[in-house]
Structure formats: C-alpha cells, structure tokens
Amino acid sequence: MEHHSNILIVDADQTLSQALEQMLSSRGHLVKRTSSGQDALDILVRETPELMILDLQLPDVDGWHVLEQASALGDACPVVVSTARELPEHAVTALLNGPGDYLRKPASAEELTVVVQRTLENSRLRKEVACLRNQKSERFGQPLIIACSREMRQVLEMVEKVAGSDASTVFIQGESGTGKELVARAIHYQSARADQPFMAINCAAVPQTLLESELMGHEKGAFTDAKNLKKDLFELADGGTVFLDEIGDMDPAMQAKLLRVLEERTFRRVGGTRDITVDVRILSATNRDLRRAMEDKSFRPDLYYRIGVIPIQLPPLRERRDDILPLAEYFIGQFNREFHKNVQGISRMAQKILLEYSWPGNIRELRNVIERSIILECEDQLLVENLPRELVAQSVGDNIGPLNFQLPPEGVNIEDIERELIRQALEMAKGNQTQAAKLLHLGIDAFRYRMKKFDFM
C-alpha cells in the first residue's frame, strides 16, 4: 500500500507544477506548491514536508541556495531536484548518495512516480535506521515482533539462526499482511550487517520496464533518458541487505538476470561493459505460490531453488490466534499515543469477536481495525460497537446455530440482533443486570452501555 505523504513543489512553471500537483494528489499525496524560493524556505521553517520537488531556476532565489538552506535545517526533508539544465556530475552524485534524487525535465509520469516513491521510501528507511541506532538495549527484531504463539516463536527461532549465519539468500513466504518485511528487517538488524544499509524494493510496484534500472542501475547514455550514471540497489546496499518483496511478480527476463547476481555476485549496469562485484545478503518474499508459478512457466525453477535454500514460512493470523489479542493491545497503545486517546483494554465480547474472526487480511487488517476503532472509541474500553460490522456479523453467524436463527435472504440489521440478545439476557436473569452481563460475557459497564443504547434503562 502506497504511503500518502506531504509533498512541496517549488517550480516557476505554473502549468507544469499544476499538472504535477494533480498527478500526485490523484495518488493520495497532500501537495502544496509555490513558485517562490523564499516562500519555500518559509514553509520549510514552519512545516516539515516529507518530500520537496525543487526546480533550480526560480524567479527570486537561486535553487541551489534553497537546497543548501533546506539541507541545513535540523529535520531536513529529502529533495528531488527537477531541472532542464545539465547538472555537473559531482552534483548528481551528491544528490543520489544523499537523501534525495535528480530528475531531468521533461520527465514522464511513470518516471516521476518511481522517483517520488523511491525517494520517500529511502527517506523512511534512513529515519528508521537512525532510530534503531539510538536503541542501545534493543534489537529491531524480536522486541517488536509479537510472538506469544508457538508458531511465531518457531519463526523467531529461525530468524535468530539465519541472522547469525552466513546464509546469502533467504526466502520468506506468507500471505499478504503477515509481516514479511518486518521479518526481513529483523534478520538484517540481528545480523553482523546491521550497521550497513538495508535496501528494499517492491517488485510489483515498479514497472517491469524500469525494474532492471532500479536493481542494477544504468550507465550514462545507456538509453534515451539516461543523462547520468545511476547507481543500482545492489551497489547502494553493498555490505548490507537487499530485500526483494513480491519477487513472484518479476518477469522471466529479469529473473534470469537476478539469477546471475545470486550465483556470481556480479552484474553489469544497463549499458555497461564492466562487471561489478557486491557483497549483499538477498532476502526475497512473495505471497504467491511459486511452485504453481513454475508449473505455468511464469517463474524459473532454477531461481526458485536458488532463493529457496533457507525458507521461512509465516503463518496467517488465523493460525496463530494466541497472538491476536497481544497484537491488538500493542496497536491500541500505538494509536492511543497517535490520537491522544486513553483506551485501556478490550471488552470481553470484543475480545471474543476478534479471536473468532478469520482475518483474511492478517496483521495489516487487524491494525486497520484497531486504528478505526480507536478513532471512534469514546469509552475506556474498545467495545463491540466500534468494530466493523463484518467482524461482528461473522461472529454472530458462527454462533447462530444454538439460537435457531437463520439469516434471511434480505439480510438483517446487526443492531437488531444485539438488542434482542440484551432483551433475552435480561429476561433469563429476571432483570439482574450482573447476571445478564455474565450470560453475554460482558463487563457490567459494557452491558449497561448497551442497555442505555437500546433504551432498556
């Protein structure tokens, strides 16, 4: 899922900057634009954009001055320099090796999208590494991976063994949302390579026509728009780790080139004639069934057996139910801080529903559910009424047999069912609210909340 970021466009060409704003806004980014270098500096002092796209030819202030002043700020945002002028090679190299990038005008929408995504991702990775280096008593891996279940404890044991080994390739497989990238980072930051770069790329997110250039770089003049030398992901990660997410979406031609890198640890940039040797650990991941992909000829068997020397299989959340509530509690703490809430726990009925739901979207879906619930929650507990209806409906459906209830073709209102359960519980308990709450596995406060909600008191 693409991260939506605050982006500042500084360009004197109003037509171009407006088109750029529309394109980025259509992808969910929050965009602010100006044609003045001084305005840009004022904005950077007041705010902290996650990315600035900067034209060097501005009417009031030289673009290099804006870049210099922006870099001097304490929490400087990465900058993509966009210009029609030819830049000196040392300037391009400085941009590419720092928290920024370079884009030669005119640029295609596809090229711009890739550069923006890459720069934002690299910026986030740099911040994460800086944060990790300040955590003197913790490693990134196990403390931040919730593993109360036997299944995940076994995974973490494997992570620890792999991290301490000299294994050059590791294959992480699991459904979407199971935490494959988190495990990849755990391997890196528990290894001897922890102080070296961790570079990640989503092979499904980059157009296949640009993937080779992203992975292996290109020489100046290699193709029409290759105005300058571009270093590749493997070179930038030399000594560290490269994480290839969604490797199952890589086309066969690129698979063959990756296989050579894996076997020989050498490659050539696009348009290059010189072999480049790198020392990287390559972690790959996919949610696809690669054995089936081999059968339909969309994935090379030799590459599969090369990346699959050490496989790590992540269980889906429905197979590690002991982790559901600890994960939910972790996310509650996270979103309490983010949204300035004070939710202290989960009601018993809400716990029951969370535990019984099948979680097709795995941890990512659980995180989204908790985020939504915390935003809507006004009580000191996370209650059933703040959970999405599909969760509640599935729980009611799974337990509907003993009530002799069958869902009619036209459907039902879930609140009508909840109201009826409250009525029946009070009737069975002869009006004793404490006993009625126990029948529904609710705390007395949560039960009285529902009584008031449905006009029983």
> Which of 74-88, 177-191, 346-360, 373-387 is predicted with the least confidence, judged by mean pLDDT?
74-88
CA separation, residue 283 to residues 147, 224, 227 (Å):
21, 32, 31
Quick one: what percent of the chain has pLDDT higher than 90? 23
Tell me, what's the pLDDT at 162? 94
CA separation, residue 78 to residues 54, 131, 152 (Å):
10, 17, 37
- Rounded distance between C-alpha atoms, residue 278 and residue 272, angstroms: 16
CA atoms within 13 A on the CB side of 404: 0
pLDDT tens digits for range 202-259: 988 888 777 877 777 656 655 555 555 566 688 888 899 999 999 999 988 889 988 9
Quick one: what percent of the chain has pLDDT higher than 70? 82
CB 342 within 8 A of CB 336: yes
Residue 56 — very low, low, confident or very high, per pLDDT cuts 50/70/90? confident
Tell me, what's the pLDDT at 349? 81
Q: Comparing C-alpha atoms, which of 77, 149, 151, 85 is closest to residue 120?
A: 77
**DSSP, residue by residue, 395-456:** HHHHT-GGGT----TT---HHHHHHHHHHHHHHHTTT-HHHHHHHTT--HHHHHHHHHHTT-
> In sequence order, which residues have a C-beta less than 8 Å from that of residue 376 and are 6 or more positions away?
386
- Rounded distance between C-alpha atoms, residue 274 and residue 435, angstroms: 79
Q: What is the mean pLDDT of residues 125-143?
A: 48
> In sequence order, which residues have a C-beta less than 8 Å from that of residue 271 and are 6 or more positions away?
218, 219, 221, 222, 223, 226
* Start and end residues for every CATH 1.10.8.60 domain found in the chain: 318-389
* Start and end residues for every CATH 3.40.50.2300 domain found in the chain: 6-109
Q: Give yes or no for residue 375 having a pLDDT over 70.
A: yes
pLDDT tens digits for range 262-296: 888 877 776 666 778 888 999 999 999 999 999 99
- Rounded distance between C-alpha atoms, residue 286 and residue 363, angstroms: 16
Q: Give yes or no for residue 134 having a pLDDT over 60.
A: no
Mean pLDDT (the chain, rounded): 80
Tell me, what's the pLDDT at 269? 73
pLDDT tens digits for range 156-194: 999 999 999 988 899 999 999 999 999 999 999 999 998
CB 312 within 8 A of CB 172: yes
Residue 131 — very low, low, confident or very high, per pLDDT cuts 50/70/90? very low
- Rounded distance between C-alpha atoms, residue 227 and residue 223, angstroms: 8
- Rounded distance between C-alpha atoms, residue 18 and residue 33, angstroms: 8
CA 348 to chain centre: 30
Q: What is the mean pLDDT of residues 24-51?
A: 82
pLDDT tens digits for range 388-431: 877 876 665 555 444 455 666 777 778 878 888 888 888 877 78
* Start and end residues for every CATH 3.40.50.300 domain found in the chain: 135-315
Tell me, what's the pLDDT at 402? 46
> In sequence order, which residues have a C-beta less than 8 Å from that of residue 287 and are 6 or more positions away?
173, 174, 175, 176, 180, 246, 248
Q: Give yes or no for residue 89 having a pLDDT over 90.
A: no
**β-pair partners for 169:** 282
Place of tokens 């210009």: 83
The CATH homologous superfamily for domain 135-315 is: P-loop containing nucleotide triphosphate hydrolases (3.40.50.300)
Residue 39 — very low, low, confident or very high, per pLDDT cuts 50/70/90? confident
* Start and end residues for every CATH 1.10.10.60 domain found in the chain: 400-457
Q: How far apart are the first and last CA of the chain?
A: 45
Q: What is the mean pLDDT of residues 307-312?
A: 92
Architecture of domain 400-457: Orthogonal Bundle (1.10)
Range with the largest mean pLDDT of 53-57, 107-111, 389-393, 398-402: 53-57
Q: Give yes or no for residue 438 having a pLDDT over 70.
A: yes
Q: Indicate the CATH number for domain 6-109.
A: 3.40.50.2300
Q: Give yes or no for residue 140 having a pLDDT over 60.
A: no
Q: Comparing C-alpha atoms, which of 141, 160, 181 is closest to residue 314?
A: 181
> Which of 25-39, 301-315, 354-368, 410-424 is predicted with the least confidence, judged by mean pLDDT?
410-424
Architecture of domain 318-389: Orthogonal Bundle (1.10)
Tell me, what's the pLDDT at 91? 57
Q: Give yes or no for residue 29 having a pLDDT over 90.
A: no
**DSSP, residue by residue, 23-70:** HHHHTT-EEEEES-HHHHHHHHHH---SEEEEES--SSS-HHHHHHHH
